[in-house]
Structure 1
Amino acid sequence: MKLNRLLSAALALALCLLLTAPSAMASGEGSAVASCGTPSGTSKNETVYAMLNSDGSVDRIYVVNQLFGEYIDYGTYTDIKNLSTKSVPTVEGDKITFPDEYVEGGLYYQGTMTGELPLTFDIDYTLGGKPVSAESLVGAAGRLQLSITASPNEKCDSAVREGLMAQITVQLDTRCAENISAPDATVVTVGKTATINYIVLPGESGTLTVTADVWDFHMNAITITLLKGTISASGIDEKLDEFDDGFDDMLSGANDMVDGTTELKDGMSSLVDGMGSLSSGLGKLNTGGKTLVRGMSEYGDKLDSYLAGVEGLVQTSEGIQSGLSGLSENGTAIAKGISEISANLSGLSEGSAQLKALASALAGSADPNVAALAGGVLQTLDAVEGLADGLKTASAGLNSYVSGMAQAAAEYGKFHAGLQELAAGGTQLGGAYDEILSGVKDYAGGVSKSAASTKKLYNAVKTLPDDIQSLIDGQIKFRDGIADARDEINKTVNLFVPDDEPPVSFASPQKNRPASVQYILTTPAIEKKKVSAAQQAEEAAASENFFTRLADLFK
């Protein structure tokens, strides 16, 4: 829509700068004189009047000519009327000669003729959406639509119709019409009259469509004026060159704009691809972070179990260490007691040597009692010596045991100290691990938020390349529209003719050389027929006779 408005504005501007039609499309022959005067080398001004039927077909045509100099003209007329003097022309074939020598302001005459107008017109009416005739619209009410289609008439001499533009004028009385609409036309309301003007460019077709809500409808005649569209601005070539240069600059700028936006799209595509890769990588990192947190949490639980076991082991180890210390102390006391017993036995053994010698002597006594007693003493002394030897051996072994136990207790004390250090280190490890796990959780949470934000950003920008492509498509249309506008302006300008191009006569294209030619076409007005006084009297009498006869029926 904006592009169409731009093209229309550009075209309108070009037409305003380049095209000059007469300031008023006159409805009489005098205007031709005023605008053209009597140019050198020309002999007449020509105004073609055409009465159209309500449907746009031609009813009759007559031409009003204004002659200068020698009053000689050419044309094939069915009737000729001198409008300036009483002289009667001489007609020889298509040559018309008036005998007058000089007429102030030129000699006017009217000729009735037949022929093909440069344009054809089709006029249609609908009321409430249904086709109706113009005659049936008198006094009508409803939604009215008037359509007038103008088309070049191929049956008309091409030289005659070349360069002619048409202005269609419709006037509506605002006392019987409202909500007036006429697309592509100008609507000017002055007082009680809305004037609608529509232009058809040379060589073109066009349709004026007027809609309105009407009641007690009536309408003035539709007026259509045909004039040659001319280019009359000074320095027209320079202006056209300026237009072309301006459009070239616009096209160059539009191409640069398309190229720049294309580069923007390429860069945005790379950005989107990078954002997609980043989003995918962060997604994987987020998944890995969650897995790491779960693994570290499980490891933390096992570490807690391990530390609890170490703590229990420390407590058990303390009991073992205490037992080993007790065994070492008890073994030392036992060893001391055995050593004392061994010493006493050794002393006893040394003191019993004499007793043993005596007993040995008495053992051979003839007295059996003495011999038995001596044998018992010897056995006892041998037992004491054996016990002393055994105690010495036991004392030596016990001393070794006590020494080994003391050494074991000492070594176990080192083990227990190490175990206590292990427990203390485990406690520190557990605290540090909790801090590490908390940091990992914070890291994983940050990664999760970053992944979510990046994904959201990616989803927001991933359609930007397509959106930019839509912008590029629009810019291309805009650029093409500029080119179309330039072509359309050039095409439109080419439809018009230079202002020094002589007009072509409708009455005799080959022989007449008029200074100006204009066409004024009108349709019948849509209005109530005026009734004369005689007709009113007749209608009154007829009405009276009707009522008289009606009354007679009841007598």
Structure 2
Amino acid sequence: MRKRWTIATAVCVLVFTPHSYVSANTEADTGTIESKDEVVYANLFANGGIQELYIVNALTVTEEGLVSDYGSYDTITNLTDLSAIEQKDEEITLNAPVGTFHYQGNIQKDPQLPWDIEIRYLLDGDQLDAEEIVGESGTFELEIDITQNDTMDEAFFDHYLLQVSVPLNSDLFTAIDAPDATIANAGKNKQLAFTVMPEEGAELRLSAEASAIELESIEISALPSSFAIDIPDTEELTGEFDSLTGAIGELANGVGGLKNGIQELSSGLTELGKGSSQFQTGLTDLSSSGSDLVTASSQLQAGLNEVNTALNGAEDDLSFDMGTELTSGIDELVAGLRELAGGLDTLGAHHQEGYQALEEAMNQLPAATLSEEAIGKLYETTEDRETLDVLVESYTAAQTIKGTFDAVKEAFTSVQPALQEMSTSVKDMADGLHTMSQSLSAVADSFDADAGLGELTNGISQLASQYSQFHEGLASYTGGVSKVANEYNQIHQGIQESATGSSQLVDGGASLQAGMNELHDATAEIPEQMQQEIDDMIAQYDKSDFEPRSFVHKNNNDQVENVQFVIHTEPLTKDEPSPEVEEEEELSIWQRFLNLFRF
């Protein structure tokens, strides 16, 4: 009877206890959840599709009683005790003691993760299904593509860092190549670890030589990228860029000065061209006049030689007539000498005018020079190298012309005094002959032919001899003038080409200045732009300001502290043969009865 009562009591307890417990729950005080953690577990098929998804919730309860959590689960399992958990729509109600309370919620209808994961297997370049590649040998390739799932809360994709681990058995896989992975030894396995940054998808690739392929589970963990990045001190770096932009500004100012110098150079080359034209004209006239002078001087020399020869050969039988014939010849000689002196004066005047014009033009060229270092910096800072080549070439030509002029300046200045000295000598000679002619005319009536003839003969002989030297000097001089005139044509041509190209220099200088100003404007904000780029880069990876949010329901956001993901793929292994089951010998009724008493 006692035994029956005990059994009845137990039956009553089993039948009525759940009802009494639930009634107690409905009457329990309200508890308090201080915080909660969520661990999201996902089991994937070999191709990356979701096979199973469940969440283990850890509630930190500070006051015992009835508490509520939220989630859209298909099934719920209490992992802490045997108490019941009620679910009404998306509200989960349970009576929790103080401490940590764990329960599991499974999502079976359309399970989703914040990432879409696709896994492909290739053997010798051909894609195979997962079950087809098991046990095969050859060149093995694994491709894992991870992209954002646009249907889920983007906060997890934007703030979570993924760690993908692929274990490869060293006995089955050799010559492993995974450029983006960190490879470590883990027992007999090679552990390949890939990292996927927040806000970024990934295309993970590895290859190996494989034999009898089998793969353990690929593990993917996701945690919030909450590490903080200390902002570096960028003042020194931006300060250096400030110096750079300042130097570019100074360079732009220098280019502005260069442009002004180019304009002055252009003006000087134009004036030089005008002066050179005048000088060339003077040299041409001088060369032409010199030819005429040599011709006239030859005639004078021939006349003097003829007179000298006639006087020397007729001393014995000369019947000398003291009429006007001798004085007329001397007067003609005087006129020729004075014409020669006038030509020398004209030649000197033309030379002086041309030289002054050339000197004034040369003085217009800037005296400042550019060093090779300054020219090199210009080449480093400009993109219009063609224009700069023209500028440098013209600058070099101008400096060469100026240097040449300075070298021959002394020779130019000595020409006019030499011409003036020659003109004075010719005039003195003409004056002397004129005086002689007047004296002959004055004493014509009392002239003693016998006594004066010797004197005249000696005087004419000396004059002819001296004039021969003078004529040789004059011919040499005029020949030199003609040579200078011919050679100056090349100098004048170069000056004209430089003057013609000076307008291009001005345009090129203006273009260069505009380019440098544009470069200065473009680089003036580099320090601020660099600082902004650094700040943006740091912000991309610094997720320390991320506020955790629940994966299963927004109503949990105020309590949730940590949410993490643990993801596994199914392993690819050969099916193990089922062990053979030995058939048991069928026992008799007596043997079965005896077995009831055997221990």
Q: TM-score range by the shorter chain?
A: 0.5 to 0.7
1:189 counterpart SS class: strand
Quick check: 1:165 aligned with 2:160?
yes
Question: Which one of 112, 117, 132 corresponds to residue 113 of structure 2?
Answer: 117
Matches within 5 A, 1:104-503: 106-114=100-108, 115-123=111-119, 139=136, 141-142=138-139, 144=141, 146=143, 148-151=145-148, 153-157=149-153, 161=156, 164-171=159-166, 173=168, 175-182=173-180, 187-191=181-185, 193=190, 195-201=192-198, 204-210=199-205, 212=207, 214-216=209-211, 221-230=217-226, 232=228, 255-256=245-246, 258-270=248-260, 313-328=303-318, 403=448, 414-415=459-460, 417-431=462-476, 469=515, 476=522, 483=529, 486-487=532-533, 489-490=535-536, 493=539, 498=544, 502-503=547-548
Question: Which one of 52, 63, 73 corresponds to residue 60 of structure 1?
Answer: 52
Shift of 1:510: 0.3
- Residues 238-275 of structure 1: CA distance to partner in whole angstroms, max 9, x if unpaired? x59x76x7887677556545534433444455566667
Quick check: 1:532 aligned with 2:581?
no
With normalisation by structure 1, the TM-score equals: 0.53
- Residues 415-472 of structure 1: CA distance to partner in whole angstroms, max 9, x if unpaired? 55434332221223345566777888998899999999999xx99xx79976994997
2:34 counterpart SS class: coil
Q: Which runs of 5+ in 1 are unaligned?
A: 1-39, 333-398, 538-555
What is the alpha-carbon distance in structure 1 between the residues aligned to residue 45 and residue 276 of structure 2?
A: 85
Q: Which runs of 5+ in 2 are unaligned?
A: 1-31, 323-443, 582-599
2:34 corresponds to: 42
What is the alpha-carbon distance in structure 2 between the residues aligned to residue 51 and residue 284 of structure 1?
A: 94
What is the alpha-carbon distance in structure 1 between the residues aligned to residue 207 and residue 286 of structure 2?
A: 83
- Residues 259-315 of structure 1: CA distance to partner in whole angstroms, max 9, x if unpaired? 344334444555666677788998999999999999988888887777776665554
Shift of 1:506: 1.5
Q: 1:57 to 1:416 in 2, by over 3 A?
A: farther
My pick for the range that moved more, 315-324 or 443-452, is 443-452
Question: Which one of 531, 545, 550 corresponds to residue 505 of structure 1?
Answer: 550
Question: Which one of 522, 530, 548 corresponds to residue 568 of structure 2?
Answer: 522
Contact 2:226 2:542 in 1 (8 A): yes
1:489 counterpart SS class: helix
What is the alpha-carbon distance in structure 2 between the residues aligned to residue 454 and residue 128 of structure 1?
A: 74
With normalisation by structure 2, the TM-score equals: 0.50
Q: 1:479 to 1:320 in 2, by over 3 A?
A: same
**What amino acid maps onto 1:532 in structure 2?**
E
1:230 counterpart SS class: coil
What is the alpha-carbon distance in structure 2 between the residues aligned to residue 99 and residue 263 of structure 1?
A: 81
Q: 1:515 to 1:314 in 2, by over 3 A?
A: same
- Residues 463-493 of structure 1: CA distance to partner in whole angstroms, max 9, x if unpaired? 9976994997599479569627615734762
Q: 1:230 to 1:264 in 2, by over 3 A?
A: farther
Contact 1:251 1:479 in 2 (8 A): no
Q: 1:404 to 1:468 in 2, by over 3 A?
A: same
Q: 1:147 to 1:328 in 2, by over 3 A?
A: farther
Q: Give the count of matched residue pairs.
A: 410
Shift of 1:181: 2.7
Q: 1:88 to 1:291 in 2, by over 3 A?
A: farther
**What amino acid maps onto 1:190 in structure 2?**
A
What is the alpha-carbon distance in structure 1 between the residues aligned to residue 54 and residue 60 of structure 2?
A: 20
1:516 counterpart SS class: strand
Q: Which has the larger radius of gyration?
A: 1
Shift of 1:43: 3.3
| Residue identity (%) | 16
1:75 corresponds to: 71
1:263 counterpart SS class: helix
**What amino acid maps onto 1:176 in structure 2?**
T
Contact 1:163 1:495 in 2 (8 A): no
**What amino acid maps onto 1:166 in structure 2?**
L
Shift of 1:47: 0.9
**What amino acid maps onto 1:200 in structure 2?**
M
1:66 counterpart SS class: strand
What is the alpha-carbon distance in structure 2 between the residues aligned to residue 255 and residue 508 of structure 1?
A: 54
What is the alpha-carbon distance in structure 2 between the residues aligned to residue 222 and residue 524 of structure 1?
A: 8
2:162 counterpart SS class: strand
**What amino acid maps onto 1:533 in structure 2?**
P
Contact 1:168 1:222 in 2 (8 A): no
